[in-house]
Structure formats: C-alpha cells, structure tokens
Structure 1
Amino acid sequence: MGGRLSTPGRYRESAASDESHPPVRPPSMSRKKLLPASFEDIDSFSLKAPVSACVSVTKLAQYLMQSAKNDMVKVRAFYRWIAENISYDAFGVRLKTYGRQDAERVLQRRQGVCEGYANLFLSLCSEVGIPCKMVIGFSKGRSYNPEIGFTPESETAHAWNIVYVNGQWLPLDVTWGAGSVDEHNRFQKRYEDMHFLTDPKDFAVKHLPYMDNDMDESKVFQLLKRPLSLEEFNKNAMVDTAGTTWGFVSTYKHHTIDVEKKCIITFKTRRMDLQNISCHLKDKSSIEYERYVVLRKTGKNRFKMEVTPPRIGKYDLRLFGKALDSTEVGHSQIITYKINCKSVFDKVHSHPVHSGLWGVKRDVDVAKYGFASSVRSKDVIVSTNGTFKLRLKTQRNPKAIFRLEDADKKDLSQHICPFLGRGFIEVTGNLPKEGVYKLILHSNSGDGQREYDHLGEWMIKCDSPSSKPSTYPSQDTLWGARTEATKYGFLDDIFSKSVFSTSNGELQLQLKTSKFVTTSVKLYQRESKLEKHVFDYYNGKTLVIKARLPNSGFYKLSLFAQHEDKKTSQSLDLVADFLVESKSDTENMKPFPVVYTHAKTYGCTLMEPLHGSLAANQNVRLRLRSKTLKRVMVNNDVHEKKSGDVFDITFEVPGRGSVGVFGTPDLEGSKFDGLYEYTVS
C-alpha cells in the first residue's frame, strides 16, 4: 500500500531538532533481543481508548502514556492504536481524492494513506519527546512489478518511520501493520505485528529509502551496516510478511531464476517449523503448472522445491506456508519468484494432482491411527524397474485403505498389494507404465469412527515400467486379518499372515484359536468363487485351511467367523482376506469335498479321500479322525469306531448323484449331522 505523497521525496521528524537527535546508525541488537516477551497489557489498554481520549493528537498521546512505563511501551501503544483504528483510504488513492495527510486530519477522519499513518505516528512521538523520523522511499507492495523495478527517476510512493528506542534506531511501517489492499482494491483490516520495529535486514527486503532524489544520502536510513544499492534492491527476492516472520532463507536470493531444464530451490524457516507448504506455478496466461513442482521436507525447518517446467517461457512461482501451530484454514504467501525457463527436457512427466508436501501430512497425529512416528521419513519413491515397496511401522494394527492413481487420476489400485504384517504395513506394487504416480492413504482410528481420514500421499516416480505388470484381486482394505479378529477367538499370530505363494498349487494355512470358532472360508479368482477348492478343519485349537489352486495367478482367500454375541442369528462376519499367488498351472487339480459346520464342531480331521469327486461304482476307503463322534453314516450304513479316534470305512460309490458323510456323538438314536459331501462322476 502507498499513495501519492503530498511532498514527494521529503522526510519529516519529531519536534526535537535534528541536532538533538542521536545520529542515525544501524542497531546493535536484534529485534528478538530488544523486544519484551509480551505487549499484552499495553495492547489491551491501547485498544480500549475511549472516544474522549481521541479528539486530538495531544489527548491521545496523554491517554496512551498512562500505562506506558518506558519509550518502548509508548511506541508500542502508538503503533497498536493506529493500526487498529485508522483505515487505509484505498478508494481515495484510486480516485486521488485522499486530501491532506497531516496527523490531526487523519485522526479525525480515522482514515489515511501511508503518509497519514506515518505523520500520525510521528506526531504522537513528538508529543512525548521520542526521536522519530518519517522516511520516504520505494516499497515492494501489491502493485510492484519486479520485471520493471525502480529507477532513480521512479516516483517514491510510500512512507514509513524510524524511531529511537532503547538506544537504537529501528524501522516500523504502521500502514502495513494495519492491513492490506486486496485484488479488488478494498482495504482488508488485519493487524500485523512483524512491521513493528522490524530487523533492518528484513525491513529492507521491501523498503528502500530515497529522499531528495539522493540515494547516497538516503542509505543511512536503511539502518544496515552494508546498505543496498538500488540494483540490489530490485534483484532481491520479495519475501512476504509470513516469510519474514518465519525467518525464510533460500538458496536463491534474487527474484528471477534462470532455469536450464530444472532447478532445485532449497530453503529453511529459521524461526518456525511449517505444518505444510504449497505452491502455484503459472505462466503469463495464468495456466497452472503446479504438477511440475515437487515439494519435500528434508529436515527440521528445511525444505526442497524441484521445478521442472514443461516448456520454455516465463512463470510466476509463489510459495505458501502454514505454521505448525496455526489453526487458520488457509496458507500465507511466503515468497514470489520469476522463473525464466530457457530449455526443457525432451520428455517431462506431469505429476498427479497434489497440494503441499508429499508423505504423511504434518498435522496428522499418526499415533492416533496406530502408526509409528517413523512413517514420516518417506515421501518420494523411485522405481527403476516398475516395482516398488513401502513399509510403514505400526504401534498397533491400523485400519487402512490405499489407492494408486496415475497423473491422469486413473485408479490403478489393482496394481498394488497393501498387507498387514506383525508391527508393520507393507505396500508393494507393479507399475504398468513410465511416469509419476500417487499412492494415497486413508485410515480409521477405531473407537467407533466410521469414516476414514486422509493421512497423506506418496509420490512414486517410475523410470521404466514392469515387463509383466501384475494385477491383484480387488481389495478395499489391507490384505490380512481385520483389527477385530481377536474378538472372534483368533490369537495374535493371525496378524502375521497376509500374503502367500505356492509353486505347486497347494496351500496350507494354520491359525491358532483360543476356543472353537464357527468359521467359513471362500476362495475367489478374478471375482469367480471356487467353492470346492478350499477346505478347512480343526486340529485341536488350530484351524487348518487348505486350498488347491488350479491356475497360475492371484487368489483371494476370505475367512468368515461367528462372533459369540451373534450365535442366535448364525451370521458370520469377514475377519480376514488372504492373498495367495500360484506360480504355476496345475493339471488335473481335484477339488475338495464340501465341508459342513458340524465337521469342525466335532473336531473332525478328514484323512481320505481329500478330493471331492468320486468315481461311480468304485470302492472307496474313508478315514476320519474325531474324538467326539461315536458313529458315522455313509450311504445309509452306520459305522462305529474300530480303534482309537479313527473311523476306517470302505464303501461303494453309487452310479450317480452324491455321497454324504454324517456323524453323531451318540451311541443310540437316529439323528445324524452332515459332515462332508462328495460328487459322483
């Protein structure tokens, strides 16, 4: 903000004569060391000034002095009152009708431009004998164009003050402390503390004194040990208020960056760790190229920005940030660069749409979702052969959903395999093409939460795609057991079993239980159910699951169990999905017999035959072990145990239909329960 000055190029000072003022020289102490821990009391007092105390500059100074014990507090009271009570006359600036800017008129109108703000502050200091000067010069405000810059012939259009407190001269800009003018030329009141007694090196980023058209004589008012030249001031990058507040320091000091194909900007914030950062990269036509910028956190308060423009030309690069402890919704602008791209790569991949830093979001409490803090250590994954692996350590078994997208937002989640291990979650993947992908994580904290929260996103760069990119069965959640599996009677070892492979098409899975659990297992390949290719039984307190996989490829093995609170409904809940890969085709793979619930209830172990199809009119030997059963019935013939716990029965298979095996724990009676069923071929 600024405004046409009534007396361009001149500065004013407080009532004490120039000879009585201490000589203007750079301060010896930093702002941090000079300012007290808090101005809370004087700020509160200043903002409560009654109307009767604001009728003149003299009365206002007298009122504000009442709670001010020293010059520092007086100066603070003046700055705080003006910033809160004087509005910027943006309408008057646009129409050039803002009129005189002397202190009394600005006070009465409660409105002014930069000269009026500076005059009022100067007059209040004069009332109490504090040395103060009004400085005229160039400023990098909203209308500043770095491609044009300032020249000695440029008109000075901004005014501010330097004031002498605690034995030192320091600058302040109460105009900018009061607020700013938006893109619609409307004044937005927003108090800003950073412009109060700013460190001169920070102040000089946007302020350059230029009085009486004499740059050499004006340099002293920069309050710098090595004053800037006009050329340096024009070249220096324009750090915004938030960047100055946070102590932004970058590898690129100048506003314009010449780029050959790619540039990497590293920066840090000396005074504040940021919760997040984001950027906008636009060309002159305002087309957004943010997808050609990668933002990464490299350490505490340290960041890296990699810019790869897709075509030759000029771009505006604006960086935004949010403080770690901020509760504000939006981000504050940190700095603006001009990117002058002189050459580009032959092939430049755009990135998936993403805002801010890659990796787990900074404002997420990862422990709440069951993850260890180390999950923040990874943000970008580079794949040289089309495969990748990401392992995230866990503190408990989280509920998580992963999704893979390419740069065109195409869902490629069937190319990833996220599974639960003991103490970790691992995601592996096969990428079908060269380019850049986005791996998205949503998680549920449990405790009755229904929705899944967005925790973060990883960038995956693929230089060369997989020669045979595999696709996995559709899976909304992690492969492996659900977090509530132990509530159904399974022991913790179930959480270490998620993904399996077999080279001969045979799989055996053993799951320990604390009690008998009513279960059901289902096997799927490419959404087709293979009902007779899976078989399960109990061996003591161990549930044994066997699968026969007829073709190479991936299968989903789903385990259902009954919760003890739902026994009356007989309903079963999904407790685990296991991923099984068969690495070869198996000829003549015979299915299992159908297994009924009572076979597991009675602790049956079927020893033979384990194939579910029996040849017609053939004699077949059936061997079955069970401590509970007393009698077994096959083809309406009842058999008792001959020795130990084993039934050993030979029967003739009928010419067609099916063969059922039934059992009872009673020595008498006619009620038998179904155990197994075979088809006749």
Structure 2
Amino acid sequence: MGCTTTKVAQSHQAKEQQNYNDDDIDNIKDDSVFSPKNMAADDNIIASIAEKSDHVNIQVADSQAFNDSFVQQRQQAINNRSYQSTVQSWQPKSLQQLTELIKAVSKGKSLVDQHWIIFYWIACNIDYDTESYFSKDYKDQTAEGVFRFKKGVCAGYANLYKYLCDQLGVPCEIISGYAKGYGFENRKDAPTETDHAWNAVEIDHHWYLMESTWGAGHLNDKKQYERELTSYYFLPRPNEMIYHHLPEDVKWQLLKSPINMEQYLQMPKLRPLYFDLKLELVSPRNQGVISLLPGKSYAMVLLRASRNIQLIADLKLNNEKIDGGHHIMFDVSKQLYRCYFAPKKVGQHKIIIYGKKDASDEITYGGVLELTLAVKQLPKTAVSFPQTWDYFFDLGLQVISPQNTHVITLSNEISTTQILIRTPENVELLGSLENEAKQAITGGHQIYYDRRKRTWRCNFAPDRNGFFEATIFAKKMSDAGSHHAAVAFKIEATQIPLPPISYPYTWQSFYDFGLKIKAPAHRSDATWAENASYTEVLIKAPDDVRLSGSIQYNHVTVENGSLAQFDIEKKLWQILFAPERTGKHEIIVFASKTNEEGSSSVVRFNLDVTKLRRPMKFPVIYSAFQTAKCQLVTPIDGVLKKGAVVPIECVIPGAIDVNVTVDSKWIGSEGYKDPILQRKITVGSKEVGIYAKYGGTSSYNGLVKYNVE
C-alpha cells in the first residue's frame, strides 16, 4: 500500500565496513603510544638511559661577560635604526674610505656600537663566495680582496672584520676551528684539518665571539647563497656557540671546562632560534645521535618549553620525508614537548624540529635543532602517527581507533572506514575527504557524536582506488568562527566497488533523533528515475518522531514540492520530492518530536533531475497529518481538475471520524473504516479538504488540502 517511484535503483553491492558497535567501543584497549601506561614506561626508559649517559657540562668561563648592562647595550645597538640607515647609505670606493666612514659614525660610541656597525656593513655588502667554496679554488681572501670583489669565504670575512677592528684600534683575533655548517652531516669521521674561521673581540676586559660569515647569510639546499642578517651571531654566548663552533685553540671556547672533538661531534646541532625561544633539550642531553627506545618502534625527544612556543618536526631518510614518521604533543603535567619519531627503514635518519613563538600564522617556523636517528634494526611491530595540529591537543582530543598508524587500508571491496575520537563535551567536529589532487570528495565523509558512548564516529568513503586524506576539524561550540584542522589520516583504497558508497549531509540532530536511512542506501544523491515526476526518501524513525521535507532549486524552496507521510505497512517514513524543472536540486528532511513545536534539519541529499515527465505539486499537508502518521495513497497530485470525479484513498490511523470538504462545504462522513478512507468525490471549483476528528476533541483537524484548476 502506498505510492512509489516509477523505478527503484538496484541495491548497492559494495561492502560497507562494519562500524564499531557499543561493545566494540567498550572493548577497545588503549594500547596507543600515547596511553598513560606506555608514556609512563617510556619515561622510565628515558630516565634509565639518562643515568648511564656521560653528560657534557657546559658553562661560560667569564660569568660577568654577559651582565645585564652588556646584554642591554648589545640589543640597543642591534635595534638602532639610525645605524642601519646610515650604513646602508654608504658607497665607499676603498677600504680606507670605509674605515673613515666607520670612524666618523663610531666617534664617541661604545665598543659594542662600533662592533655592530662593522658587523652590519659586512652583512649588508659581502656575499659568500659559493664558487670558491665548492671548487676549493679560493680567490683572494685578504681584507682588500674581499672588499674589492664584495665576496669571500669564512677566512675572508674574518680577515675583513679584523682589518676594520685594527683600523679602529679595537682588539680582535681570528679563530680557526671546526663548524657544523653546510655539508657537516655528510661527514663520517672527525675532520683532520680546520674548516672555518671567525673572530674574537675584547670589550671592557671581557672576550666575546663574533661570527660575521653566518651572520650575513647561509647556503640553501640548492647550494645557493641567501643573504640574511642574523643578529644572533653578533656577540653570541660561548656556551651556545660551542654546539656548532669548535675552536682549534681551546682557550677560544671561553668555557669553564673546554670540550674535546669527540664530545663536540656527539652534541646536537642547535640553531639560534633554539636559544631565542629558551628551549631546553631534556632528552637526549647534549647527544646528537639517538636510537630507538629499547623494545619500542620509535625514538623520543623531550624538549622543555613554555606553552606559547609552537613546535613541528620532520623525519627524513636520504633527504626524503617519512610520511607518518613523527608526532609532537605537549605534556601539560610535565610542561614539556614529547616528540616521537618512527622510522620505516634502517639507516641514518635526520630529525629536524622547528619552532615559533605564538600560534599566529603571520609568524613562520624556523629550525631549532637537528639530531641523527641511527636505526640498525627495525622491530617487528611498526608504528606511525597521523598528522596533528595544535588544536588536537589544545581541545583535548583523543584518537580511540585506529591506534599507532597514520594509514588506513581499505581492500577486499570494503568501501568505508570509521575513526573514533573522544573529546570534551564542549567540542564539536567536522570532516573532509580529499584525493591526491586535493579535490574534496562529495559525500565522502559523515561525522556525528554518539551520545551514548560519548564518542565521535567519523566515517569516510573513498570514491575510487587510490590515496586519500581524511581530515577532522574541531572547535569549541562556544567559539565563533570556523573549525580548525586537528588530525588527519591517510587512506589507501584498493578494490573499491562501483558505484562507490557516499554519505548525504547529516546534522547532529539526525543521530539524536535516532533516524536511519533506508533509501537511497549509501548514497549522497537521491535516485532520479528516468522520465519521473518525483523521487522518494525512506527513513526509519522512533515512534515519537515525525518528519517533513523541502526541495530547493538555487536555494529557493519549491512550493508544495514535498510530501512526508508514514508507510504503516513498512513502518517507514516516505518523503516524496517533486521538482518543477530539470537541473541540480537539494532535498532536505526535517524532524521533530510529535509533542513539540518546530523542527530541525536532519539530512540533505543532492538531486540531479535529468528528464522530467511533467511538473507536479503535492497537496498542502498540515502538521496533524504527520503527527497522526497518515499516508496519502491517491491522488498525490495536489491540483485536481474542476468537475472531475476523483477516488480518494488515505490511511488515517486512530480517527473517530473523517470528513471531506469541497469548496469549504462538508459533503458528509462516509468511506472511512479505521485506518482507511476510501471514497469518490466530485471536484468543485476551489478546493478539496480532508479532515479528521480524534478522541477528546469536538473539532476536526485539517490533514490535506487540494487546489483546483
């Protein structure tokens, strides 16, 4: 009994991956790398390793060199805009003329200011001679030669700096030694001869270091020189410089206890930003090479930092990034970052950690440290990590499943996957599925909150074979603005059957009402039969829920374009939608409790009308029709012809009496036997109405109204 579309689509043959039922969720063990149990075990392992390690104690020899007054003078010189504009305006033709310019502007200035003027001029005017460096055919590296050609290698920078200091009568020395600069990581053994030069200067009876080469710029991965002023190398602290500069003469380490070459080579490669952000490498302690934790599939780096510091990382093998190879999280209880690194192959891996202050997108990340991860043997059980963003931790998200992987594999005609995530009650999630071309997959995701299990169920359905990225976005419900990316997984899909499964757009209320879609099954698009006049959506709902519908074209609602009714035999809601024209439409289903006013959007389908037999409108349906769970069998066309004799059949459960009006006149109660109304009427000139009376009331409730043409 009841109306149907002229053609029903074949049932979907794809296998939808079994979603986690309540028992499944309850039985999932938290065996992730980040479970409290595993984190506590990791901390014990790290503590044990630390006890056995031979730590290098690094302290400056002259504790008064960097007193508050000196630190303030240094920063004031760096910030002095007048010095910068003056130096940039110079165009000296000779070293002598340059010396006179420096003397003139330095007159009466502090030694710190004089050194900054020299440092700044070199940084703005001398380029690194990459041709000489890579060919090992060094040009004239005297101060005169470097000034003339406006380029040099480290020896040339150091010679020019000392020459200018000598002209000003300022004490300066050239230091020869070893540096962890370009190409350092390619070394296998300790260097046999010095490979770098920089300076030491005396200011107010204290000796300081000066690195004008690195302060002027750097070589990029393409072996090209990039000029970039880095003021960190202007009078840097010796206990920081020692991580990447080892003087041949130990006295120029300026440390209380000088280190040797073996210790120097073992130390991590710390960048200036590491010290600017006031980071502390807790583990490994002054060790540049680390291994996998014993019995684990990953290595760990612990970094102490203030909470406003943001960190990200890369794990590389042969300069190729390891997908899913790292994970960084802030441990609030210990106030430090836990950085996990999981290799996939044996070999010497490079760990690079980047940082920045503040979460603003206007501030870019910079390198803070580099370590080597030496992997000689991989454990049997490998792990990998999904990509996470700051919001994942800030909002307190937890991945329940899948654990310890960043790749979800779909095969054997399994079409979908489900990711389970727990959040605080005030957090809401959204999702997105993209292919390798970064194109969003329509109907590729379905995200909702399971209130009974207090778990977000995040479903994803690739539309073909290949690689996809499933991203989950989050925000606090009380926050204005958009959601932010929180966590992302890779999906590798093979043997996806056609047509693929897809999801209609659902609101959270769909699940709160306990609804289930029966047709169209596993489709984001409603089915349109060729040359039809309307389509249907079938939904199962609890007894106390009523449904209604709407169809839109170009965001304009089609008047009388939907009919929601209850199929008493199938115990399903049948919502019919009738477009007025061909083209792309949206159809929306609404739901409400039978005893409540108003309704909520619950699900939206796309509808592509390719060929329309004839436009039609449904009758006007009143709320009592849906509340009583009525069903209109015939006629479903809402416009009747004047004078026509029309059979009426309608399912109206539980009524005491049913009556019909023609042109607002009662024509008498006949043809109703609960729950079926069957009778014929002669159509008048204005309208036809169907009314029902229920127990406890003396009046009739309007159910259906037909118009007449």
Whether TM-score is above 0.5 comes out as yes
Cα distance, 1:230–1:297 mapped onto 2, change above 3 Å:
same
Pair 1:479 & 2:502 matched: no
Judging changes above 3 Å, is the alpha-carbon distance between structure 1 residues 640 and 168 closer, same or farther for their aligned structure 2 residues? farther
Deviation string, structure 1 residues 472-493 (Cα, Å, up to 9, x no partner): 984464524xxxxxxxxxxxxx
For residues 380 and 556 of structure 1, do their structure 2 counterparts lie closer, same or farther at Cα, with a shift above 3 Å needed? farther
What amino acid does structure 2 have at the position aligned with 1:455? H
For 1:295, which of 325, 328, 332 is the aligned residue?
328
Q: Does 2:247 correspond to 1:209?
A: yes
Structure 2 distance, partners of 1:183, 1:384, is: 36
Aligned twin of 1:74: 114
Q: CA 1:109–1:619 in 2, change beyond 3 Å: closer, same or farther? A: closer
Q: Assess if the C-alpha contact under 8 Å between 2:130 and 2:223 holds in 1.
A: yes
Which string of whole-angstrom CA distances, capped at 9 and with x for unpartnered residues, describes residues 176-209 of structure 1?
A: 1111223444322111111111111111111111
1:304 matched to 2:344: no
The answer on 1:317 being equivalent to 2:339 is no
Partner of 2:177: 137
CA drift at 1:318: 2.8
Q: What's the CA shift string for 1:147-187, capped at 9, x where partnerless?
A: 53435xx1112111122235532212001111122344432
The corresponding residue for 1:516 is none
Structure 2 residue aligned with 1:158: 196
**Cα shift at 1:25:** 4.4
Question: Are the equivalent residues in 1 in contact too, given 2:290–2:299 (CA < 8 A)?
Answer: no
Q: Provide the secondary structure at the position in 1 that maps to 2:251.
A: helix
SS at match of 2:118: helix
Q: Is the 2:128–2:151 contact (alpha carbons within 8 Å) kept by the matching residues of 1?
A: yes
> How many angstroms does 1:291 deviate by?
2.0
CA, structure 1 residues 122+546, in 2 after alignment: closer, same or farther (shift >3 Å)?
farther
Match for 2:132: what amino acid? G
Please tell me whether the aligned partners of residues 130 and 164 of structure 1 are also in contact (alpha carbons under 8 angstroms). Answer: yes
Contact 1:277 1:321 in 2 (8 A): yes
Aligned length: 528
- Offset of residue 26 of structure 1: 5.6
Q: What are the Cα deviations for residues 567-615 of structure 1, in whole angstroms up to 9, with x where unaligned?
A: xxx99877765279xxxxxxxxxxxxx9955232xx645787835569x
Is it true that 1:599 corresponds to 2:621 in the alignment?
A: yes
2:630–2:652 contact (8 Å) kept in structure 1: no
1:51 match: secondary structure: coil
Q: Given the alignment, which residue of 325, 347, 370 partners 1:336?
A: 370
The Cα of 1:537 is off from its aligned counterpart by 7.7
Structure of higher RCO (CA pairs closer than 8 Å, 6+ residues apart): 2
Q: Relative to 1, partners in 2 of residues 1:223 and 1:193: Cα closer, same or farther, differing over 3 Å?
A: same
Describe the SS at the equivalent of 1:343: coil
1:550 Cα deviation after fit: 8.0
- Which amino acid in 1 is paired with 2:396? S
- Distance in 1, Cα, partners of 2:630 & 2:251: 97
Query: In 2, Cα distance between the equivalents of 1:174 and 1:265?
Result: 35
The alpha-carbon deviation at position 639 of structure 1 amounts to 2.7
Match in the other structure for 1:282: 317
Partner of 1:417: 447
Tell me the SS of whatever aligns to 2:376. strand
> Which amino acid in structure 2 is aligned with residue 249 of structure 1?
E
Q: Could you tell me which residue of structure 2 aligns to residue 3 of structure 1?
A: none
Q: Do structure 1's residue 234 and structure 2's residue 273 form an aligned pair?
A: no
Query: Is the contact made by 1:268 and 1:301 (CA closer than 8 Å) also made in structure 2?
Result: no
Aligned Cα root-mean-square deviation (Å): 5.6
**C-alpha distance in 2 between matches for 1:458 and 1:78:** 49
Give the 5 Å matches for 1:493-508: 498-501=511-514
Matched, 1:377 2:410: no
Mapping for residues 62-141 of structure 1, pairs under 5 Å? 62-66=103-107, 69-141=109-181
CA distance in 2, matches of 1:230, 1:613: 92
**Paired amino acid for 2:250:** K
One-letter amino acid matched to 1:335: L
- Which amino acid letter does the alignment assign opposite residue 224 of structure 1? L
Q: What's 2:288 paired with?
A: 255
Conserved 8 A contact 2:470-2:490: no
* 1:14-50 deviation line (CA, Å, top 9, x unaligned): xxxxxxxxx9946542685563353333223222224
Write out per-residue CA displacement over residues 460-510 of structure 1, whole angstroms, 9 at most, x where no aligned residue: 799xxxxxxxxx984464524xxxxxxxxxxxxxxx6753327xx9x9xxx
Query: Deviation string for 1:418-468 (max 9, x for gaps)?
Result: 3699xxx97324799xxx9975146999xxxxxx98831425799xxxxxx
* % identical aligned pairs: 18
> CA–CA distance in 1 between the matches of 2:122 and 2:573?
70
* Partner residue, 1:180: 218
Distance between the aligned counterparts of 2:664 and 2:193, measured in 1?
112
In structure 2, relative to structure 1, the CA distance for the partners of 1:98 and 1:419 (3 Å cut) is: same
CA deviation vs aligned residue, 1:284-310 (integer Å, no higher than 9, x gap): xx5542323223344598432212223
Maintained 8 Å contact 2:536/2:577: no
- 1:44 maps to amino acid: S
Q: Deviations along 1:529-555, whole A, 9 cap, x unmatched?
A: 6557686589xxxxx987669889xx9
Cα deviation code 1:357-404 (max 9, x no counterpart)? 43538xxxxxxxxxxxx8633365555798723447669xx9954449
Query: What TM-score do you get using the length of structure 1 for normalisation?
Result: 0.62
Partners of 1:478 and 1:571 lie apart in 2 by: 13
- Cα offset, 1:278, TM superposition: 3.0
Residues 1:223 and 1:341: Cα distance change in structure 2 (over 3 Å): same
Does 1:195 pair with 2:233?
Answer: yes
Q: Tell me which residue corresponds to 1:389.
A: 421
Contact kept, 8 Å, 2:315 with 2:352, in 1: the verdict is yes
1:41 alignment partner in structure 2: 82
Decide whether aligned partners of structure 1 residues 74 and 359 sit closer, same or farther in structure 2, where only a CA change above 3 A counts.
closer
Q: Does the 8 Å CA contact 1:439/1:459 hold for their aligned counterparts? A: yes
Match of 2:608 in 1: none
User: Does 2:100 align with 1:59?
Assistant: yes
Amino acid at match of 2:341: V
For the residue of structure 2 that corresponds to 1:262, the secondary structure is: coil
Asked whether the 8 Å contact 1:381–1:461 carries over to 2, the reply is no
Q: Secondary structure at the match of 1:291?
A: coil
Taking the aligned partners of 1:556 and 1:473, their CA distance within structure 2 comes to: 22
Q: What is the alpha-carbon distance in structure 2 between the residues aligned to residue 556 and residue 640 of structure 1?
A: 30
**Cα distance change, pair 82–525 in 1 and its aligned pair in 2 (3 A):** same
Write the letter of the residue equivalent to 1:610.
C
The superposition leaves residues 230-288 of structure 1 with CA deviations (integer Å, 9 ceiling, x where unpaired) of 211011011234334434432123121122443443343758944552303215xx554
How far off its partner does 1:72 sit? Answer: 1.1
| Cα 1:417–1:35 shift into 2, 3 Å | same
Question: Structure 1 CA distance, aligned partners of 2:628 and 2:399?
Answer: 53
1:214-237, CA deviations, whole angstroms, 9 ceiling, x for partnerless residues?
xxxx22211112221221101101
Conserved in 1, the CA contact under 8 Å of 2:290 and 2:372? yes
Given residue 163 of structure 1, which amino acid in structure 2 is its aligned partner?
Answer: V
Shift of 1:128: 2.7
Q: Give structure 1 stretches of 5+ with no counterpart.
A: 1-22, 211-217, 362-373, 446-451, 463-471, 481-495, 508-521, 539-543, 563-569, 581-593, 642-647
Residues 336-355 of structure 1: matches in 2 within 5 Å? 336-351=370-385, 354=387
Q: Displacement of 1:322 after TM fit?
A: 4.7
TM-score, length of structure 2 as denominator length: 0.59
1:202 partner SS: helix
Query: What does residue 632 of structure 1 align with?
Result: 660
Q: Identify if the C-alpha distance between structure 1 residues 561 and 280 changes in structure 2 by more than 3 Å, giving closer, same or farther.
A: farther
**Aligned to 1:108, what secondary structure does the other structure show?**
helix
* 1: CA distance, partners of 2:373 / 2:127: 36
Alpha-carbon distance change, 548 to 51 in structure 1, aligned in 2, over 3 angstroms = farther
Distance 2:660 2:373 in 1: 84
Tell me, yes or no, if structure 1 residue 29 matches structure 2 residue 66: yes
